[in-house]
Amino acid sequence: MKLAMIGFGQAGGKIVDRFLEYDDRTGSGIVRAAIAVNSAKADLMGLDNIPQENRVLIGQARVKGHGVGADNELGAEIAEEDIDEVQNAIDAIPTHEVDAFLVVAGMGGGTGSGGAPVLAKHLKRIYTIPVYGLGVLPGTDEGGIYTLNAARSFQTFVREVDNLMVFDNDSWRQTGESVEGGYDQINEEIVRRFGILFGAGEVGDGQEVAESVVDSSEIINTLSGGGVSTVGFASEDVELNTGGGLLSRFTGESGGDDDLDAANTTNRITSLVRKAALGRLTLPCEIEGTERALLVLAGPSEYLNRKGIERGRKWLEEETGSMEVRGGDYPREEPEVAAAILLSGVTNVPRIKRLQQVAIEAQDNIDDIQAESEENLEELVEDDEDELEPLF
């Protein structure tokens, strides 16, 4: 499916920038337009792939290109004040060729955390196509203010988008990595998962037509109904077939080999589906109770079969208890078979409940510290007997 991607804030901009690179590298054709919005000039300058004219600096009157720190209320305010500048950039893209908007932001910071929900609300008012969010949760080691920002942004962002897909940095943190190096790897994981998912609905001219194609309406139907989504993923390397037919077909004369290949293909698919659903999700949660799901099997077409996908789909129905599990394949000439599973409308998410608890504690602490420091300052400034008088 074709998306207009808008990265809000530093994380959002970097992730959209990475999606463009992925699109070029794989020819997936999902990024119809890419825009970055930020209040920090340096962050916009640090992007590699988003065209200069699609980089929008907001809040210049208020913060002079230096960003909002981690103040997401200020982030929301300047987004509202300068929404016309963002709209000007959107006006320049052919929205009639776009299936949906995807607003991407880190929810722990300031500009994206506050601005992304404001933009989503604006887009929903103006356009009829769906507006999706991709929100990144901060690591638990980032501290109270980031957690509080994320908890408040999450509440607002979910309300303003047609569906909020969540990626949790905490689940993907690697020890011993520099933060920057770590983000590079994490961003690659993000674009790979979402790239396969959205790429499924975008089979280009000349590409093989899938046995059971996933088209963009199936992605949209899975995401419709709103709420929060998470994505599971698993892949296995395979050899690309260069000569026609599976490699093993060269060695055997009997039809038995084909049966064996078919059985292997089916087994590979079903085990990938299990691994994807039960392994690390972009947002860890209980998959039972998921409202809707979409299973996408990507790989060289000779490694995909209807039976495998059908079995995987049935298994997902049983595991989630959902009556709305869609599935299909996405043929592409990469030397791997990959299963990407979109679980939409998840509600049993202990990670969010913990985040909210820590956020409330941080909020109480901040209030206490503020009250205390006001008291301390007053004590310092005022003389004990109140004999001195200020000038005015």
Contact, 126 vs 83, CB < 8 A?
no
For ligand GDP, the closer CB: 136 or 210: 136
Ligand-binding site membership of 163 (annotated):
no
Q: Which of 3, 4, 5, 10 binds ligand GDP (CB under 6 A)?
A: 10
CB of 359 vs ligand GDP, minimal distance in Å = 13
The full length of the chain comes to 392
AA letter at 138:
P
Ligand-binding site membership of 305 (annotated):
no
Binders in 53-92 for ligand GDP, by CB under 6 A: none
9 binds ligand GDP (CB under 6 A): yes
AA letter at 215:
D
For ligand GDP, the closer CB: 142 or 202: 142
CB of 96 vs ligand GDP, minimal distance in Å = 30
117 binds ligand GDP (CB under 6 A): no
The two tokens of residue 156 are 């607002």
299 binds ligand GDP (CB under 6 A): no
186 binds ligand GDP (CB under 6 A): yes
**DSSP three-state, residue 270:** helix
Q: Which of 136, 272, 295, 352 binds ligand GDP (CB under 6 A)?
A: 136
Q: Which of 7, 59, 106, 133 binds ligand GDP (CB under 6 A)?
A: 106
Q: CA–CA separation, 264 vs 270, rounded Å?
A: 10
Ligand-binding site membership of 345 (annotated):
no
Q: CA–CA separation, 241 vs 238, rounded Å?
A: 9
For ligand GDP, the closer CB: 139 or 328: 139
111 binds ligand GDP (CB under 6 A): yes
Ligand-binding site membership of 12 (annotated):
yes
Q: Which of 11, 277, 340, 343 binds ligand GDP (CB under 6 A)?
A: 11
Ligand-binding site membership of 356 (annotated):
no
Q: What is the dihedral of CA 16, 18, 24, 27, to 10 degrees?
A: -80
Q: What is the dihedral of CA 76, 82, 88, 90, to 10 degrees?
A: 0
Alpha helices (runs of H) in 200-325, residue ranges in sequence order: 216-223, 256-278, 306-320
Binders in 196-235 for ligand GDP, by CB under 6 A: none
Q: CA–CA separation, 344 vs 24, rounded Å?
A: 28
Q: Which of 344, 334, 245 is nearest to 294 (CA)?
A: 344
Which residues contribute to the site for ligand GDP (CB under 6 A)? Answer: 9-11, 14, 106, 108-113, 136, 138-139, 142, 146, 169, 183, 186-187
